[in-house]
Structure 1
């Protein structure tokens, strides 16, 4: 279900988008936790797109606080570890909410695990209504189930909300054939197919998320979150990025 309203600015063709970022993106130069200036900078990027009239969904990972898979690798029972990771995403979502609302952007944190004292439970129709009212919706606690990543949660929510694209903010400006940090001769794709991402294990998102996006013809745009103004620029078709599509 997509809103019938169009963006207030002709600068972008997108009406409703999902922004997926990792929990590590909120760490800044720290090795753990939240770096408030970095959270504020990302919030400014989101506000700049919100000011265009674009309806924004967000999913933030929890790896800066706790990663379920890492906990399981150290001997913790996987289901428990994954639930702890889901709670970490709620903490990140609340931090981003505080930063956005300090900038005057109305926001709702919507959790797949009910915790009514701090955020709303996930109800699809209510979430769609928040978007239509130009509130940023931050979806937390993944899908509410263990064994699913926040990449899959972002793709699921993007489909449920009728988003036109997923914007995956990373530390690099697109998808490369190999790690550009380790290999100076790495080549960036302008466009790459879902099937190539899966076959070549390009690491854009996990396989479940890519398959879900492919099955619903939902493009994934991979860009650098570290580039000032990059999110808004790419929405307008400028800048450097990779599009994953059919």
Structure 2
């Protein structure tokens, strides 16, 4: 296997599937089955999931809600998605632990780094909900930080696009895909891969990022087995 311990970053919007809002149970089950395939290979899996299908903190100010309050609402949205994903994974026979950046003792554990690593070592899938517990930080930043904390080999950013392109491929048909990029190239080309905080964390800690299409069956397993899927961003 190319990677032993991974941090899988999923977007909340992806959970909508064919719906306009909320959680599509079919998409949830699809993701659970894809994750099960790599778990059966012995990969240690940590997951961070967004909350954009329910609420996005950065949009709060447009509704008159204070930005900080909106960010906390967004954290709770990620927790709802994390609980849904936890349930789907367990229904598919996997052992999980949900850890939260804010205290919600009734439904999950607080994030403790050593405990998270121990869960991974014991073969449990660890889902990190509620961001890092502070406003003004995105779930991309959470994914980068948690990946560094649990000593993951890579951040796998699952999207609906099969990699990083020169332009938005959904809007520009002439856009071409990158197979490999350095952090410096991505910065100079102003490619919107992650927010700058998340991106800088990965760069400074020499943590590679792979952007790939999570919705295509088998992609995640192929990545783990070493196939060139999506776009790899590294220090060199």
Out of 99, 105, 109, which is 1:116 matched to? 105
Residue in 1 that maps onto 2:165: 176
The unaligned stretches of length 5 or more in structure 1 are 1-11
Change (3 A) 1:192 1:239: closer
Deviation >4 Å, runs of 4+: none
Following superposition, the deviation at residue 230 of structure 1 comes to 0.6
Contact 2:163 2:211 in 1 (8 A): yes
1:123-144 per-residue CA deviation (whole Å, 9 max, x = no partner) reads 1111110000000000000010
Indicate the SS of the match to 1:56: strand
TM-score normalised by L of structure 2? 0.98
Following superposition, the deviation at residue 199 of structure 1 comes to 2.7
Q: Report which stretch shifted further, 51-60 or 64-73.
A: 64-73
Indicate the SS of the match to 1:89: helix
Root mean square deviation, CA, Å: 0.9
TM-score normalised by L of structure 1? 0.94
Pairing 1:23-172 to 2, within 5 Å after superposition: 23-172=12-161
The unaligned stretches of length 5 or more in structure 2 are none
Following superposition, the deviation at residue 203 of structure 1 comes to 1.2
Following superposition, the deviation at residue 239 of structure 1 comes to 4.9
In the alignment of these two chains, the number of paired residues is: 235
Indicate the SS of the match to 1:108: strand
Contact 2:7 2:152 in 1 (8 A): yes
